[in-house]
Amino acid sequence: MSTSLQNIDVLIITHIVFINNLPIAGPYSSVIKSLQNKTKYLEVLEIPLYNFDEPIIYGDVINLSKLKISKLFGAISPIKYIMDIIITTIFLFKFGLRKSEHKAVISIDPLSALIPSIICKILRAKSIFYCVDFSENRFNNKILQKLYEKADKIASIHSDQTWSVCDSMKKYKLENYSVKSLYIPNSFTYTDNYIAKLSKRSGNRVVWTGSILTGKQIVDIFNLCAQIQKIRPETEFRFVPSNRLNDFKEMAKNTTLKNVQIFDVYGQEKSRELVSQCDLGLAVYDKNFGSTKYIEPIKIWEYMLCGIPFIISKEPSVNPKVIKSGVAFILDKDNKINDTERLKKFIDKNNLSKLYKASLLLAKEYDASKLMKDAVLSLF
């Protein structure tokens, strides 16, 4: 029997990170926005990732509530994980009491997906594990690393549907778990809000946005910017960090880089307003930490949604079609550029302007709302 999203209740479970007492938007935000106002009912459970200094956020997405847990439960990692499981189980059974004929639970990380992959069968709900990242070196503690990998395996195998954020993750799950997953990228719901800005661009603006994991990452970003400005002295640089703002300011003081602006904004919409005025995006990572082997960076989809090409570190798990389109320039190992002529051709103003519409077309093709709608409906 076929159905529509309007007949389905959905619960989204995820872990979130806070900065300045506010939750950082992430892949879970794209899932919420893709399904909001399209399902019969949409509920979320957002559990703080690191501790319980911040509250649990839960309930109907248009009327969210907060639940404060004692910080003592988050002081030790194993106890924190046990509490996460207990909280997830309670909210799952609460959601399971809904009288809707069709129910689906979408979990965004292994710990969030572990319990739903098992309990949803009892609750007569469909479980979806959206694996947005994976690391073979997530924890220094070998026991925690093994438990993390075990949770990923169980959730991948026992969920009714598994979504992989990139091709390399799809391959990993197939080869290691014999699980056929769906490719659901870190993309956004397509909007044509930024088309009008394409003709108003100067051709000179370079932007970096996102979070910083290591000091080396900042150094590599500024080194790349210096190389770009050496080729094109007229370039301007916009940095829109979601953390370590002072580190960017300090680096800007101690660099010979010119035409630098650092913005302190909160939220994807404000960030996109700045990004959409630019011509080239940067996605630079530290090779020793934060590898993109099994992670397709969400920022590249923000860049494409705004209609700009981008430069990205080597070993990115970027959609092969995106690379083939020419909108992505792949750096050499350790963020080096061995062929400056190749970079010169890519950042040429005329070449960048040719890639604006190609970026928008890819964002439209991989519209998150359409991809997720089709995936969810295929379960019923």
User: How confident is the model over 338-356, as a mean pLDDT?
Assistant: 95
pTM metric for this prediction:
0.89
Q: What is the pLDDT of residues 20-61, one digit of tens each?
A: 788 888 889 999 999 999 999 999 999 999 899 999 999 999
Of residues 315 and 147, the one with the higher pLDDT is 147
- The correct CATH number of 195-365 out of 2.60.120.560, 3.40.50.2000, 3.30.470.10, 2.20.25.90 is 3.40.50.2000
The percentage of the chain sitting over the pLDDT mark of 70, rounded to a whole number, equals 99
User: How confident is the model over 214-235, as a mean pLDDT?
Assistant: 93
The amino acid sitting at 172 is Y
CA angle 341, 346, 347 (to 5 degrees): 100
The amino acid sitting at 280 is L
User: With contact defined as beta carbons under 8 Å apart, do 375 and 367 qualify?
Assistant: no
The amino acid sitting at 104 is A
Mean pLDDT (the chain, rounded):
92
The per-residue pLDDT for 267 is 78
Of residues 271 and 46, the one with the higher pLDDT is 46
Q: What is the pLDDT of residues 284-325, one digit of tens each?
A: 988 777 667 888 888 999 999 999 999 999 877 889 999 999
The per-residue pLDDT for 1 is 47
The per-residue pLDDT for 242 is 82
Q: Which two tokens stand for residue 322?
A: 């995106």
195-365 matches 5-184 in CATH topology: yes
Domain boundaries, the chain: 5-184, 195-365
Q: Which two tokens stand for residue 60?
A: 């109907």
Whether the CA torsion 54, 58, 61, 63 is positive or negative: it is negative
User: With contact defined as beta carbons under 8 Å apart, do 24 and 17 qualify?
Assistant: yes
The per-residue pLDDT for 2 is 67
The per-residue pLDDT for 196 is 83
The per-residue pLDDT for 291 is 64
SS3 letters across 247-297: HHHHHHHCCCCCCEEECCCCCHHHHHHHHCCCCEEEECCCCCCCCCCCCCC
Q: For residue 168, which phi and psi values (nearest 5 degrees)?
A: -65, -30
Domain 5-184, classified CATH 3.40.50.2000, yes or no: yes
